[in-house]
Copies of this chain bind each other. A is one copy, B any other.
Amino acid sequence: MRLKVLPLRLPLRDERHPQSHVCSACTMREQTLFGALDDEALARIHTHIDTRIFAPGDVVYARGEAGSAMFTVRAGVVRFERVTEGGDRRIVRLAGHGDLFGQETLLNQPYADEAVACTAVQLCRIPRGLVHELGLGEPGLVRELMRRWQQSLESAASWMADMATGAARRRVLKLLAELQRHADDDGRIWLPRRDEMGAMLDMTVETASRMVSRLRRERVLDVRPGRHVRVHPEALAAALRELDAA
C-alpha cells in the first residue's frame, strides 16, 4: 500500500510560517483535536507540530516508554499491541484516519501499549507541552480531548465484542468489516499478515490462512498481486448476516 501524502496548502517545516498557519491550513483541521480552536487560539501555538512518516512495521513508540507527545493519524493504520505474561503478543485495537492516540502522555504516564504502523502511516506529532501551553483553560480543547478519549474507549470495547467473540470465521469477518472502514480512496484495504491476524483474533496462522483462503474462494475477498486487496461489501454483509441467523 503506497502512502499518499495529504496535501497541505503551506509547506511543513517552513520557518517563515508559524505553526498556526500550518494547522489552520490543514486539510484535516475539522476532524482533528485542534478543529475546535479558532485562529486566534491557534496563533498562540509556538510549539512545533510535525508530520512524521512510518513504514509498515515501524514502531511509533514502545509500551512503557516515557514519551512526551501524542499523535493524530493522517493516513494509514496503526495497531496497539501488548505482550501477555505467557510471552505472546496481542493486538488490542486499531487506529485509523482522524484518530488520536498516546493521550496518556498528557498525564505524564508512560505509553500503555506498543504502537506499530500497519501500513505506511502519516502522523501528526503533538507534543504534550503544546496542550499545556494552550492551557486546559481552553474549554473547546478540553472537550475535544475528552471526546477522543471516549472514542478510544468505545473502540476498545467494540473491538472486544467483535474480535474476541465467537467462532474463527465470525471473528475474521468482523475484522474485515473493520478494515474496510479504513480502506483507502481506491477501496483497497490493508490485509494483515496471517500471524498478525492471529494476534488480533487469538488464533493460529494456519487457521487465519484457512479462513482467508475460504473467503477468497467464496469471492468475499479479492486478493490481487502487489497486496492490492479488495472486499466485496455485499458478499461480506451477506456472510455476516448468515452467521447471525444461525
Chain A interface residues toward B at CB < 8 A? 80, 82, 84-88, 90, 92-93, 103-104, 106-107, 109, 112-113, 136-137, 139, 142-143, 145-147, 149-150, 152-154, 156-162, 164-166, 170, 202, 240, 243-244
Residue contact B149 to A153, C-beta cutoff 8 Å: yes
Residue contact A104 to B157, C-beta cutoff 8 Å: no
Complex Cα distance A150/B101, Å? 11
Complex Cα distance A159/B165, Å? 13
Q: Which residues of B contact A139 (CB under 8 A)?
A: 136-137
Residue contact A157 to B93, C-beta cutoff 8 Å: yes
Q: Which residues of B contact A162 (CB under 8 A)?
A: 84
Copies in the complex: 2
Residue contact A160 to B164, C-beta cutoff 8 Å: yes
**Separation in Å of the A155 CB from the closest CB of chain B?**
9
Summarize A's interface: helix, strand, loop or mixed: helix
Q: Which residues of B contact A154 (CB under 8 A)?
A: 112
Q: Which residues of B contact A157 (CB under 8 A)?
A: 80, 82, 92-93, 112-113, 156
Q: Which residues of B contact A106 (CB under 8 A)?
A: 146
Residue contact B137 to A90, C-beta cutoff 8 Å: no
Given contacts A136-B136, A136-B139, A137-B137, 19 further A-B contacts (CB under 8 A): A84-B161, A84-B166, A85-B244, A87-B244, A88-B165, A90-B160, A92-B157, A93-B160, A107-B150, A109-B150, A112-B150, A112-B153, A146-B146, A149-B153, A152-B153, A156-B157, A160-B160, A164-B202, A165-B202
Complex Cα distance A20/B240, Å? 53
